Structure 1
């Protein structure tokens, strides 16, 4: 990297990387919904999980590029801590999406239910809002639009809390202890993914406020 690139803020580089990472998270959430909705009809679940792992690795690579660029750049378009927190938050969402699918495979889950589908769709809706908010930080002309996206993610997380609560209540009406343990873990990991979406939204909200 030359002296000009070291001194001049690398706005485009960071924002391009964040846009790519947000798209990767949306792709993972789309695949999660398709996976859970069509679970009983999937011929090769292991192959689907392998594809998701590739998406998760792609996200890891983008996050690595963000951290590497952060170490190389003297003047950044956002605070270094903001860049690091946002990269970490987006990566966490990917980890939980991937982790849930791998868990379903390793647990030998044989069927999905409405609670799983609803939680997966809440993740999908959340990351769509997050992607729009990420796109908005490139040139913050209207921080209120970013704030609205973040508020919606917070609302969706509250809905996910309710879905989880009802799912576990219904689950404990069953008698099979092993099934209870397996499904409870899956429900909770899906809900944690919505928590991670809320974490990312909080970082984006902070960025919008600080740079407005």
Structure 2
């Protein structure tokens, strides 16, 4: 057991890891906005995104390891596992959205991609706020507000997807339609994963109220 484990109570370590994951989600979403808004040096930017994704994986693995060897946990082990998985999924789908630009050799991004990225960045901020509130659960209304806002943003993303696909089918290029539709759908799933995080928040609130 390391020095930090001796100093920091084991149940508190989870909150640190949650907060690290939430910060990583915010960093990934911010980079996605940059990639879509300034579509230059894409390979270099994607290398940064992949580094962020690896950081997210490392935090998730550490959380699972802590869960496997810790008897005292702040929430039910299943809740912790669901939260860690949901946060990791958000990062993974953001990474996928950026990676597909390279796979499909996309020549330029569009306003719909930027809208998705901004939506994800807002959801990431709500996730970060909600995670901070889990430490004490004293301000449950703030966490509830985060859940409501994340759900609203997921609905916004659904609307963005509808508009993007509607616009896409005005094209006569079937290959381009397939490529962009896949990217749009991946970005929308990323917002679904944010909603999964809010679902865990809601479950924790129900159990602790």
TM-score scaled by structure 1? 0.93
Question: What stretches of structure 2 of length at least 5 have no aligned partner?
Answer: none
What's the counterpart of residue 28 of structure 2? 28
Q: Distance in 2 between matches of 1:53 and 1:85?
A: 23
Aligned to 1:63: 60
Q: Deviations over 1:17-61 (max 9, x none)?
A: 11011001100000001110111xx1x211111110010000000
* Residue 154 in structure 1 maps to residue 140 in structure 2: no
Name the counterpart of 1:86: 83
Q: How much has 1:9 moved relative to structure 2?
A: 6.3
Q: CA RMSD in A?
A: 1.6
Distance 1:170 1:193 in 2: 21
Figure out how many residues of one structure are paired with residues of the other and give that number: 206
Q: Which residue matches 2:129?
A: 132
> Is 1:106 aligned to residue 103 of structure 2?
yes
3-state DSSP class of the match of 1:78? coil
Runs of 5+ consecutive residues of structure 1 not aligned to the other structure? none
Residue 197 (structure 2) pairs with residue 210 (structure 1)? no
- SS of equivalent to 1:127: helix
Counterpart of 2:48? 51
What's the counterpart of residue 73 of structure 2?
Answer: 76
Structure 1 residue ranges, 4+ long, deviating more than 6 angstroms after superposition:
none
Displacement after TM superposition at 1:170 (Å): 0.8
